[in-house]
Amino acid sequence: MQEKNEIKPESTKSDTIEDLIAHFAENEPYATICPPVSDKDLAHCIKSLKAYEMELPNDYIHFLKICNGFYFDGTEFFGTHSEEPTNDLGTRSLPIVINTYSFNSYFYVEDYIENPMLCIGRTCTGDYLVYNPQTCTYQLLDHEDACATVWQEDAVFGKFFAKVILGLED
């Protein structure tokens, strides 16, 4: 018999991102689900990414409008800012922007990857969650081999989220 807080993997392939987030909100006390992004914060993030010639995919924007960041069991999907100010001035960081810049400063500049990518999260093992605009796919990249290994990949954010968080296969 399935316990209340357990997600049955075979039933989640058709669940929407809204269904998955709602499940975690109701049944997983250790999941951190940030409130939806404000229009102002989203606009600022989009503008900041454009400076790096990067864009947020529409389905990731949809995710941010449901929850502006998500953390569970060591895996984090970045939002547009941290909940707490990062310095004495009350400035908030922009994890998507900062992590995208850091990721590309190392992996793209050093020629480990062929094109810049949007860094949208990290796993507890240090692997990267990215959006690759060249292939229009979300990818889970191995950190140990300079992102040469793609562990998971999907063109739809909700399916990618389920694969990463729930360990689902195609």
Whole-model pTM: value is: 0.82
Give which of 23, 30, 113, 32 is closest to 78, Cα–Cα: 32
pLDDT in tens, the chain (170 residues): 334 334 444 444 447 899 999 999 999 988 888 889 999 989 989 999 998 889 999 999 999 999 999 999 989 999 997 555 444 444 444 588 888 888 888 888 777 778 889 999 999 999 999 999 999 999 999 988 878 889 999 999 999 999 999 876 66
Per-position b or e across 138-155, b if 16+ CB within 10 A of its CB:
bbbbeeeeebeeeebbbe
Cβ atoms 80, 31 nearer than 8 A: no
Which pLDDT value is given to residue 14? 46
Report the Cα–Cα distance between both ends of the chain, in Å, rounded.
25
Which pLDDT value is given to residue 121? 94
Domain coordinates in residue numbering, the chain:
9-82+91-164
Cβ atoms 168, 158 nearer than 8 A: no
Cβ atoms 134, 121 nearer than 8 A: no
Residues sharing a CB contact under 8 Å with residue 160, sequence separation 6 or more, in sequence order: 138, 140, 152, 153, 154
Question: What would be the CATH architecture of the domain defined by 9-82+91-164?
Answer: 3-Layer(aba) Sandwich (3.40)
